Amino acid sequence: KAGVTQTPRYLIKTRGQQVTLSCSPISGHRSVSWYQQTPGQGLQFLFEYFSETQRNKGNFPGRFSGRQFSNSRSEMNVSTLELGDSALYLCASSTRRGGYEQYFGPGTRLTVT
Amino acid sequence: KNQVEQSPQSLIILEGKNCTLQCNYTVSPFSNLRWYKQDTGRGPVSLTIMTFSENTKSNGRYTATLDADTKQSSLHITASQLSDSASYICVVSLLTGANNLFFGTGTRLTVIP
């Protein structure tokens, strides 16, 4: 069974631009969660989608948004990029809500210049 | 305040030696605790998951213990190998609530020959 895939793996953007990241979960997994990981803050929860609905949301500004499609694939969008948005963005999929038994993708390394 | 603290922040050991990583948490009500291994530039991979009633769980050379009374967990690595060099992240899950995952900032383990 294929693992969680994320595209692109690396991305360089300029401050003020917007970016869309994609995540394809493991087949049969309906929950997709997104995380931001930085050296100083560690892993921080962004949001969780289950059956195309956002179920949980972390403490991030409204510039961070996401959606989930009927095939469980998910996208995350960040508008008006700031230098501080430079991070590794990870998505994780699970058969259940709430982060139980999550499988992580390799991440997208976003650099904002 | 729900928090997860890991120690030490970093650790260097010789190949073949054992080591123990610590995780203390104040998360309540507790649901489960997970240890993840994250190689540089990769997504975290689950090592163990323990619920309230479990006090030890093994995965090969990795053994996790949990003391739910003192809210402490440890990850013991036996006969370390160079491939064990990675960050180890402790994640504690709340029983209920919208944002129910709490992450430690990780222990960076380096195994040297």
B98/A56 CB distance under 8 A: yes
- Residue A112 tokens read as 């904002």
Tell me, what's the pLDDT at B97?
60
- A9 at the B interface (CB within 8 A)? no
Q: Which of B:45-84 have CB within 8 Å of A?
A: 45-46, 49
pLDDT tens for residues A55-84?
A: 888 889 999 999 999 999 999 999 999 999
B41/A109 CB distance under 8 A: yes
Mean pLDDT for chain A overall: 93
Find all residues with CB under 8 Å of A62, minimum gap 6, and list them. none
Over the range A77-108, which residues count as b (16 or more CB within 10 Å of their CB) and which as e?
ebeebeeebbbbbbbbbbeebbbbbbbbbbbb
pLDDT in tens, chain B (113 residues): 888 999 999 999 999 999 999 999 998 888 889 999 999 888 999 999 998 889 999 999 999 999 999 999 999 999 999 999 999 999 998 876 656 788 999 999 999 99
> Which residues of chain B lie closer than 8 angstroms to A55, CB-CB?
98
A99/B100 CB distance under 8 A: yes
- B32 at the A interface (CB within 8 A)? yes
Rounded average pLDDT over A4-31: 97
**What is the rounded CA–CA span in Å between residue A84 and residue A16?**
12
Q: Which of A42, A105, A109 sits opposite B105 (nearest CB)?
A: A42
B106/A103 CB distance under 8 A: no
Tell me, what's the pLDDT at A56?
85
Q: Which of A43, A56, A106 sits opposite B103 (nearest CB)?
A: A43
Tell me, what's the pLDDT at B99?
60
> Which residues of chain A lie closer than 8 angstroms to B49, CB-CB?
100-101
A43/B98 CB distance under 8 A: no
Backbone angles phi, psi at B81, to 5 degrees: -125, 160
Find all residues with CB under 8 Å of A71, minimum gap 6, and list them. none
Q: Which of B46, B101, B108 to mutate to test the interface with A (most CBs of A within 10 A)?
A: B101
